[in-house]
Amino acid sequence: MTGTLIVGASGGIGGALVQTLQGRGEHVRALSRSVDGLDVTDEQSAMDCLERLDGAFDRIIVTTGALSDGGRGPEKTLKSLDPDAIAGQFALNATGPTLVLKHALRLMPRDRRSVFAALSARVGSIGDNRLGGWYSYRASKAALNQLIHTAAIEVARSHRQAICVALHPGTVATAFTENHRNHETVPAAQAAVNLLGVMDGLSAADTGGFFDWAGKPVEW
Protein backbone atom coordinates (compact mmCIF):
# COMPACT_ATOMS: atom_id res chain seq x y z
CA MET A 1 0.00 0.00 0.00
CA THR A 2 1.23 3.49 -0.84
CA GLY A 3 -0.27 6.81 0.05
CA THR A 4 -0.39 9.11 3.03
CA LEU A 5 -1.05 8.53 6.72
CA ILE A 6 -2.47 11.54 8.55
CA VAL A 7 -2.30 11.48 12.35
CA GLY A 8 -4.59 14.10 13.84
CA ALA A 9 -7.06 13.97 10.97
CA SER A 10 -9.94 15.51 12.93
CA GLY A 11 -8.14 18.83 13.36
CA GLY A 12 -8.35 21.77 10.99
CA ILE A 13 -5.10 21.20 9.12
CA GLY A 14 -5.30 17.41 9.37
CA GLY A 15 -8.81 17.37 7.94
CA ALA A 16 -7.81 19.74 5.14
CA LEU A 17 -4.88 17.50 4.23
CA VAL A 18 -7.20 14.48 4.05
CA GLN A 19 -9.66 16.32 1.81
CA THR A 20 -6.95 17.72 -0.45
CA LEU A 21 -5.26 14.36 -0.99
CA GLN A 22 -8.52 12.52 -1.52
CA GLY A 23 -9.49 15.20 -4.03
CA ARG A 24 -6.34 14.31 -5.94
CA GLY A 25 -7.33 10.67 -5.97
CA GLU A 26 -4.59 9.61 -3.57
CA HIS A 27 -4.95 6.91 -0.96
CA VAL A 28 -5.24 8.37 2.53
CA ARG A 29 -5.38 6.66 5.90
CA ALA A 30 -6.65 9.01 8.58
CA LEU A 31 -6.23 8.53 12.32
CA SER A 32 -7.55 10.73 15.10
CA ARG A 33 -8.35 10.65 18.77
CA SER A 34 -12.06 11.29 18.25
CA VAL A 35 -12.58 8.50 15.73
CA ASP A 36 -9.83 5.97 16.39
CA GLY A 37 -8.98 6.65 20.03
CA LEU A 38 -5.39 7.56 19.14
CA ASP A 39 -3.89 9.53 22.01
CA VAL A 40 -0.34 10.50 21.07
CA THR A 41 0.45 11.25 24.73
CA ASP A 42 -0.16 7.58 25.57
CA GLU A 43 2.44 5.30 24.00
CA GLN A 44 0.26 2.21 24.32
CA SER A 45 -2.55 3.97 22.47
CA ALA A 46 -0.20 5.11 19.70
CA MET A 47 1.35 1.66 19.41
CA ASP A 48 -2.02 -0.12 19.30
CA CYS A 49 -3.41 2.16 16.56
CA LEU A 50 -0.30 2.06 14.41
CA GLU A 51 0.24 -1.68 14.74
CA ARG A 52 -3.15 -2.24 13.12
CA LEU A 53 -1.84 -0.72 9.89
CA ASP A 54 -0.11 -2.67 7.14
CA GLY A 55 1.87 -1.78 4.07
CA ALA A 56 4.00 1.31 3.47
CA PHE A 57 3.18 5.01 3.32
CA ASP A 58 5.08 7.51 1.21
CA ARG A 59 4.00 10.30 3.56
CA ILE A 60 3.30 10.24 7.28
CA ILE A 61 2.11 13.60 8.61
CA VAL A 62 1.49 14.34 12.29
CA THR A 63 -0.80 17.34 12.76
CA THR A 64 -1.59 16.95 16.47
CA GLY A 65 -0.79 19.69 18.95
CA ALA A 66 -2.24 22.44 21.10
CA LEU A 67 -1.32 25.97 22.06
CA SER A 68 -2.15 25.53 25.72
CA ASP A 69 -3.24 22.94 28.24
CA GLY A 70 -6.68 22.81 29.80
CA GLY A 71 -8.03 25.96 28.15
CA ARG A 72 -5.87 28.28 30.23
CA GLY A 73 -4.24 29.98 27.27
CA PRO A 74 -0.51 30.40 26.62
CA GLU A 75 1.53 31.85 29.49
CA LYS A 76 2.56 35.46 28.98
CA THR A 77 4.67 35.85 32.12
CA LEU A 78 6.80 33.76 34.47
CA LYS A 79 4.10 34.22 37.11
CA SER A 80 1.76 32.10 34.99
CA LEU A 81 4.04 29.07 34.72
CA ASP A 82 2.56 25.81 35.92
CA PRO A 83 4.74 22.68 35.93
CA ASP A 84 1.84 20.36 35.12
CA ALA A 85 0.85 22.51 32.15
CA ILE A 86 4.43 22.53 30.90
CA ALA A 87 4.61 18.74 31.16
CA GLY A 88 1.32 18.44 29.30
CA GLN A 89 2.55 20.64 26.46
CA PHE A 90 5.72 18.60 26.09
CA ALA A 91 3.75 15.34 26.09
CA LEU A 92 1.41 16.55 23.35
CA ASN A 93 3.61 18.76 21.19
CA ALA A 94 7.01 17.08 21.45
CA THR A 95 6.89 13.54 22.79
CA GLY A 96 3.65 12.59 21.02
CA PRO A 97 4.78 13.12 17.41
CA THR A 98 8.08 11.41 18.19
CA LEU A 99 6.25 8.37 19.55
CA VAL A 100 4.31 8.24 16.29
CA LEU A 101 7.61 8.15 14.41
CA LYS A 102 8.89 5.44 16.74
CA HIS A 103 5.96 3.14 16.01
CA ALA A 104 5.34 4.20 12.39
CA LEU A 105 8.90 3.77 11.18
CA ARG A 106 8.10 0.23 10.07
CA LEU A 107 5.44 1.72 7.76
CA MET A 108 8.00 3.83 5.89
CA PRO A 109 9.48 2.14 2.79
CA ARG A 110 13.20 1.42 2.72
CA ASP A 111 13.50 1.18 -1.06
CA ARG A 112 12.15 4.58 -2.10
CA ARG A 113 11.59 8.15 -1.04
CA SER A 114 9.30 8.83 1.90
CA VAL A 115 8.47 11.80 4.11
CA PHE A 116 7.72 11.98 7.83
CA ALA A 117 6.55 15.47 8.77
CA ALA A 118 5.45 16.84 12.12
CA LEU A 119 3.80 20.25 12.39
CA SER A 120 5.94 22.61 14.41
CA ALA A 121 5.73 26.41 14.72
CA ARG A 122 7.97 29.36 14.03
CA VAL A 123 7.61 30.40 17.67
CA GLY A 124 9.57 27.25 18.49
CA SER A 125 12.62 28.92 16.95
CA ILE A 126 15.04 30.00 19.67
CA GLY A 127 16.95 32.32 17.33
CA ASP A 128 13.76 34.02 16.14
CA ASN A 129 12.30 34.60 19.62
CA ARG A 130 12.18 38.35 20.10
CA LEU A 131 8.87 38.77 21.92
CA GLY A 132 9.03 36.23 24.73
CA GLY A 133 5.93 34.73 26.32
CA TRP A 134 4.15 31.50 25.39
CA TYR A 135 6.69 29.60 27.45
CA SER A 136 5.36 26.05 27.28
CA TYR A 137 4.31 26.16 23.63
CA ARG A 138 7.59 27.69 22.47
CA ALA A 139 9.67 25.24 24.50
CA SER A 140 7.67 22.17 23.46
CA LYS A 141 7.96 23.05 19.77
CA ALA A 142 11.69 23.70 20.15
CA ALA A 143 11.94 20.26 21.76
CA LEU A 144 9.97 18.73 18.89
CA ASN A 145 12.40 20.26 16.40
CA GLN A 146 15.35 18.72 18.25
CA LEU A 147 13.67 15.33 18.51
CA ILE A 148 12.87 15.26 14.78
CA HIS A 149 16.38 16.41 13.87
CA THR A 150 17.92 13.73 16.08
CA ALA A 151 15.60 11.00 14.82
CA ALA A 152 16.35 11.96 11.21
CA ILE A 153 20.01 11.07 11.73
CA GLU A 154 19.10 7.60 12.95
CA VAL A 155 16.35 6.98 10.38
CA ALA A 156 18.75 7.82 7.53
CA ARG A 157 20.87 4.80 8.45
CA SER A 158 18.07 2.35 7.66
CA HIS A 159 15.93 4.44 5.27
CA ARG A 160 18.41 6.27 3.06
CA GLN A 161 15.77 8.07 1.01
CA ALA A 162 13.61 9.06 3.99
CA ILE A 163 13.02 12.71 4.82
CA CYS A 164 12.08 13.58 8.42
CA VAL A 165 11.20 17.24 8.93
CA ALA A 166 9.43 19.74 11.14
CA LEU A 167 7.11 22.09 9.25
CA HIS A 168 5.68 25.50 10.14
CA PRO A 169 2.29 25.78 8.40
CA GLY A 170 1.91 29.53 8.85
CA THR A 171 -0.95 31.09 10.78
CA VAL A 172 -3.91 28.98 9.77
CA ALA A 173 -7.58 29.83 10.29
CA THR A 174 -8.39 27.10 12.81
CA ALA A 175 -9.22 27.09 16.52
CA PHE A 176 -5.63 28.26 17.07
CA THR A 177 -6.45 31.56 15.40
CA GLU A 178 -8.19 32.77 18.54
CA ASN A 179 -4.71 33.58 19.88
CA HIS A 180 -3.42 35.06 16.60
CA ARG A 181 -5.77 37.98 16.09
CA ASN A 182 -2.96 40.28 14.96
CA HIS A 183 -1.63 37.90 12.31
CA GLU A 184 -2.83 37.37 8.78
CA THR A 185 -4.27 33.87 8.44
CA VAL A 186 -4.74 31.45 5.57
CA PRO A 187 -7.59 28.93 5.21
CA ALA A 188 -6.79 25.38 6.26
CA ALA A 189 -7.32 24.19 2.68
CA GLN A 190 -4.63 26.57 1.42
CA ALA A 191 -2.30 25.57 4.25
CA ALA A 192 -2.72 21.92 3.23
CA VAL A 193 -1.78 22.72 -0.37
CA ASN A 194 1.24 24.72 0.82
CA LEU A 195 2.48 21.95 3.11
CA LEU A 196 2.11 19.25 0.47
CA GLY A 197 4.00 21.44 -1.98
CA VAL A 198 6.86 21.80 0.48
CA MET A 199 7.00 18.06 1.15
CA ASP A 200 6.95 17.26 -2.55
CA GLY A 201 9.93 19.55 -3.09
CA LEU A 202 12.18 18.10 -0.40
CA SER A 203 15.06 15.70 -0.98
CA ALA A 204 16.92 13.33 1.32
CA ALA A 205 19.50 16.09 1.80
CA ASP A 206 16.81 18.10 3.63
CA THR A 207 16.12 15.46 6.27
CA GLY A 208 16.29 16.77 9.81
CA GLY A 209 15.35 20.28 8.72
CA PHE A 210 12.79 22.83 9.87
CA PHE A 211 10.90 24.53 7.03
CA ASP A 212 8.06 27.01 6.72
CA TRP A 213 4.97 26.84 4.52
CA ALA A 214 6.91 28.30 1.58
CA GLY A 215 9.73 25.78 1.85
CA LYS A 216 12.20 28.21 3.42
CA PRO A 217 14.42 26.98 6.28
CA VAL A 218 13.45 28.34 9.70
CA GLU A 219 16.17 29.39 12.13
CA TRP A 220 16.66 26.94 14.98
Determine, yes or no, domain membership for 41.
yes
Determine, yes or no, domain membership for 138.
yes
Q: Average pLDDT, whole number, for the chain?
A: 94
Range of the domain at 89: 4-212
Determine, yes or no, domain membership for 91.
yes
d(CA 76, CA 133): 4
Q: Read off the pLDDT of residues 121-144 as tens digits, 9 standing for 90 and up.
A: 999 999 999 999 999 999 999 999
* Residue 176 banded pLDDT, cuts 50, 70, 90: low
Determine, yes or no, domain membership for 219.
no
Determine, yes or no, domain membership for 218.
no
Three-state DSSP class for residue 212: strand
Determine, yes or no, domain membership for 8.
yes
Residue 166's DSSP bridge partners are 118, 210
Q: Read off the pLDDT of residues 48-85 as tens digits, 9 standing for 90 and up.
A: 999 999 989 999 999 999 998 766 789 999 999 999 99
Decide if 165 contacts 211 (C-beta within 8 A): yes
Q: Is the pLDDT of residue 150 over 80?
A: yes
Q: What is the CATH number of the domain that holds 93?
A: 3.40.50.720
Q: Read off the pLDDT of residues 8-19 as tens digits, 9 standing for 90 and up.
A: 999 999 999 999
Determine, yes or no, domain membership for 185.
yes
What total number of domains does the chain contain? 1
Determine, yes or no, domain membership for 174.
yes
Q: What angle do CA 217, 130, 218 make, to 5 degrees?
A: 5
Q: Is the pLDDT of residue 207 over 60?
A: yes
